[in-house]
A and B are shown apart, each in its own frame.
Chain A
Amino acid sequence: MENLLPIAIGILIACGSYLCMRRNLVRVLLGIMLFSQAANLLIFTAAGLSSGQPPIIAPDKLTIAGPHADPLPQALVLTAIVIGFAVLAFAIALVLRAYHKTGSDDLDTFRRSDS
């Protein structure tokens, strides 16, 4: 699995980069979404996969016995998912606003409406 997931992450990043380089507003938005998925998965994978139990301590014990998943990257990714969502919501609002303001979905035409 450590060999398969990197390939999937590479595909997500490639798709995200390609979409971010488009002139079409909606596609750039899609690219940002793909990018944040890829980043989360990257942190999760790079920290090391584990097929063991989740990092939850049984009610009658004080620590986890046996192999278990690493809780730290999970905490980081959890934060990243939520923040990614906030960023996305903002991006969506921005795109919507920009489209209404300019009437165009072509990013290249936005250069003239900077002011």
Chain B
Amino acid sequence: MPLYWIIAAPLLAAFAAPHLVRSAGSRAAGVALSAVPFAIAGWLLSEAAAGAAARVASHDWIPSLGVQLTLLVGGFERLFLLLVSFIGGLVLIYGGAYLDGDSKAPRFFSIVLVFMAAMLGVIAADDMILTFVFWELTSLTSFLLVGYKFQDAGARKAALQALLVTGAGGLALLAGLILLTQITGETRISALAAHSETIASSPLFVPALLLVLAGVFTKSAQVPFHFWLPGAMAAPTPVSAYLHSATMVKAGVILLAKLHPAMSATPLWGFIVAPVGALTMITGALVAVYQTDLKRLLAYSTVSVLGALVMLLGFGDAFSFKTAMFLALVHGFYKGSLFMVAGTVDHSTGTRDVRSLSGLRLRMPWLALAAGAAALSMSGAPPTLGFISKELIYEAKLSLPIAHHLVTAIGVLANSLTVAIALIVGIRPFLGDHGTAKVRHHPGWGLVLPPALLAFLGLTLGLFPGWLDAHLISPAASSLDIDPNQAKLYLWHGFTPVLALSVATLAAGFFFFKIRRKFEMAAHAMDKIHFITPTALYLTGLDGLMKCAAFLTGWIQGGQLRIYVRVTLGAASLLVLYALYQALGEFSLSSQVPLKFFETMVVILMSVSAIAAVLAKSRLAAILCLGGVGYSVALVFAAYGAPDLAITQLLVETLTVVLFSFVILKLPQIRNISRGHTRRWDALIAIFTGLIMTAVVWKAVHVQMAEPISPGLVERSATEAYGRNVVNVILVDFRALDTMGEILVLALGCLGVTALLFRKRRPHVPHDRRGEHEAATMGETPAASEPAP
């Protein structure tokens, strides 16, 4: 099986999905489509069972940038690919049943399958740019899925929030990966490990690390970026079960693990990663326990587990690393299961409020069993997978070289809160008598089987930890150069301090469950400081950005011509000033053409006329001044070897003055409208622009960027084009196409003038028709008698 198929197959299925849903209904489509991820999972499992070596597929994508379509599937990738594809298959079945009859179901399947492809890509990609592309694709599909109920303003807002937070993190990640490439010259993540010394000693190491971590922390919802994850619960529950528990949020953890060998060589890694993870772990658990919405409870507890994963990777030792791999696997099983249970409860009763749910086991016994099994695993009761992972975590914490008491204490607290959450979500709604929420309809098997299967696996695999260890966890560790023999998975470790901690955790968890109402009171007290929460800061920031944009747009695009001119001239002049400053030393005052009396007088006349045109109060005086400028320019052309220019300029200038004189009498007298203050500012900008342009011309006179082409034109003028006036030959022969364009512009100008002046007038503007006709004729005449070059 070529490696690319693991990404191509879900993508192809995404194209087929809408058609399938429309023709066969969403239940059947879900089952049919789940064959794709299950096939991938089956292949991965056979590879794992056979202990196959890592597979690599590589193909050039953008060779000039060294970007390749490189996929690498080793032990580590296999573990996570298996998790994503297996749970993905179950989610497709579950989603088909959940969204039965929903008109947007085709969209759901397409996007989930694209997401699946992207997620498999993030895991398998070895090229950095390819990783980034898939990474962003998961953010985009997450945006579409969170905003699935797009009629709902809250869902749209949550989708945007998820996109902005993870998208910003994605950009940081890209910058970080590029820095890593610059340090090492490698574009493959797996090749970075060999350069860990170079990376650690590089001055770019700290920025690279911080940027990469920014990407990882936003994606994996670490404090203070955790707030988007509970918001993302606006998505339909199958999406939450898949993206926001089992897979997408783990993308950060996966990348962190992949970069672990390359970047964990310095203490800085542990100093940043471990505390952030610990803080997230405890924050998530504390906030989760007082929630009343099933999905929010689960969302915050996911934040807590992600924190634990990041913390374990931050410890950096082999034992913790392997523990993290195991925890990621276990968490995928029980959290996916519990999310689906929550969705089924919501689907059947119409509510997710734990306060009104009770006695559900009476109507939904199978679901109750599934929920109970998943909750057991989540709370870490023996003999589940959760129990083994918790034992391992405590062992990892106790063996820390520093601060192990503090870390273990935080861990016990977070874990006992997790136990309480497991009881609230997985046990409490099913016990007791019928609650206020009624079961409106029985869930079909499609809503019960997937969570039950996941929960059952979590329960039974706990009995065979050795198999998991040998075929999945240890290969995962050793493929990232971690010694797999550091930690062995056992169900029974014997009577150790770790076991005592486990028992204490369960007891404390039960205690917290009993007093959970007290947490709600604490939560109300916390509301007083809501304005400093990350959510509030995000909203303030977004609001500020919008206001800033509105202000800036209003300021530089005020809708008035003079403001546009002012901004354009000012900005352009400042930019040119900067460029001139760079070339300050290269100015020269040397002159090849000597100053002569006649020409000097002409130039002075030109300048004085221009200034007089500005100051003129009378229309006719202004026009005469402009004529003075125009004729002076013609004289300059004549003096410096350009008779054609001089003739044309004289002609055009005469026409302009005549045309203007006719028209201007129809226009009002010149007057000052702006205030004196504004005029002074404008004068300042204008003088500044003038000075800058003077400097530019001054510089340009002495710059010769390339070999001039004029000598060649002169040489070929008589011999090839049979013309002796080189300027004319250029216009009608060498650059004839230009001249044709110029004639076109004239024709268009002529048309425009005609359209403007001969337009049928609306009756309510009484007006002199004859004069206008005359002006139009004037406008046309010169265009028609365009000076033949």
Chain A residues close to B by CB (< 8 Å)? 1-28, 30, 33-34, 37-38, 40-42, 44-46, 48-59, 61-64, 68-72, 74-75, 77-79, 81-90, 92-97, 99-101, 105-108, 111
Contacts and interface: CB of A to CB of B under 8 A. Distances in A.
A5 B752 CA distance: 35
A30 B674 contact: no
A1 B630 contact: no
Contacts of B641: 50-55, 68-69
Given A7-B694, A49-B593, A93-B779, A26 B682 contact: no
B685 A21 contact: yes
28 contacts: A2-B593, A2-B702, A8-B606, A15-B613, A18-B683, A20-B561, A21-B686, A24-B673, A30-B613, A44-B642, A55-B726, A56-B725, A56-B726, A74-B727, A75-B727, A77-B642, A78-B644, A81-B645, A82-B648, A82-B742, A85-B655, A86-B783, A89-B749, A90-B756, A93-B757, A94-B756, A100-B767, A107-B560
Contact of A30 (B622, B710, B725): B622
B730 A75 contact: yes
A12 B610 contact: yes
A19 B622 CA distance: 12
B644 A17 contact: no
A75 B756 CA distance: 31
Given A3-B589, A26-B667, A89-B659, A75 B687 contact: no
Contact of A26 (B595, B619, B636, B691): B619
Contacts, number: 301
Interface string B291-312: 0000000000000000000000
B738 interface: yes
B717 interface: yes
Chain A to chain B: the 9 pairs with minimum beta-carbon distance, closest first? A14-B690, A69-B641, A10-B694, A86-B749, A18-B686, A46-B700, A71-B726, A6-B697, A10-B690
Interface stretch (B224-232, B274-282, B562-570): B562-570
Q: Which of A16, A21, A41, A59 has the most B CB atoms < 10 Å from its CB?
A: A21
Secondary structure type dominating chain A contacts: helix
Given A33-B626, A62-B718, A71-B713, A92 B693 contact: no
A106 B673 contact: yes
B562 A107 contact: yes
A93 B753 contact: yes
Q: Which of B606, B685, B713 has the most A CB atoms < 10 Å from its CB?
A: B606
A81 to B, nearest CB: 5
B190 interface: no
B611 A105 contact: no
Contacts of A89: 659, 749-750, 753, 779, 782-783
Contacts of A24: 670-673
A18 B682 contact: yes
B424 interface: no
B652 A85 contact: yes
Interface in B581-609: 589-596, 599-600, 603, 606-607
B566 A21 contact: yes
Given A3-B591, A20-B565, A99-B667, A15 B611 contact: yes
B775 interface: yes
Contacts of B63: none
A13 B727 contact: no
Contacts of B671: 24, 105
Secondary structure type dominating chain B contacts: helix
Contact of A96 (B560, B596, B636, B775): B775
A20 B690 CA distance: 13
Contact of A15 (B610, B667, B742): B610
A68 to B, nearest CB: 7
A8 B603 contact: yes
B715 A63 contact: yes
Contact of A17 (B565, B630, B668, B700): B565
A79 B719 CA distance: 24
B645 A44 contact: yes
A34 B640 CA distance: 21
A95 to B, nearest CB: 7
Interface string B670-706: 1111100000001101110111011101101110000
Given A78-B731, A90-B753, A34 B690 contact: no
Given A1-B591, A34-B629, A75-B731, 6 more contacts: A8-B606, A33-B626, A49-B593, A82-B746, A96-B666, A96-B772
Contact of B724 (A41, A56, A106): A56
B136 to A, nearest CB: 40
Contacts of B727: 55, 71, 74-75, 78
B548 to A, nearest CB: 24
A96 B686 contact: no
Given A1-B594, A27-B670, A46 B701 contact: yes
B782 A21 contact: no
A59 B125 CA distance: 73
A83 B726 contact: no
Nearest to B615: A15
